[in-house]
Amino acid sequence: MANQRRGGIRPCPPGVRSGDVVAVPLPNRLEFVYVLAAVVRSGAVFCQFPPDYRARQIEFILRFSGTHTLVVPDGPGSAS
């Protein structure tokens, strides 16, 4: 089953398919590794960028890459 948890890594959200671009504005932390593993397992394309980019830089990246899904940190202070 595609949405089943295997090996401690949760799969990407429903609707993310092989070849989709998943953008991730996370710094190099443990959560980054989990997200990377889930994206790779789903067959999607991983697009990482620094979380401190300006809005117009992020907009360019998302449009240029054809991003399907954007993964963001959960809760206040989680990007520190």
Classify residue 1: in a domain, yes or no.
no
Residue 35 confidence (pLDDT): 86
Residue 12 lies in a domain: no
In 10 A of CB 34, how many CB atoms?
Answer: 14
Q: Which domain holds residue 49?
A: 21-70
pLDDT tens digit string along 17-47?
889 999 988 887 888 888 888 888 888 999 9
For residue 8, being part of any structural domain is answered with no
Q: Structural domain tally of the chain? A: 1
> Given pLDDT bands bounded at 50, 70 and 90, which one contains residue 11?
low
pLDDT confidence tier of residue 4, bands split at 50, 70 and 90: very low
| In a domain? residue 65 | yes
**Nearest residue to 11 via CA among 19, 21, 20, 1:** 1
Note whether residue 49 is domain-resident: yes
Phi-psi region of 8 (alpha: psi -120 to 50; beta: other; left: phi over 0): left
Residue 60 falls inside a structural domain = yes
Residue 59 counted as domain residue: yes
Domain assignment present for residue 79? The answer is: no
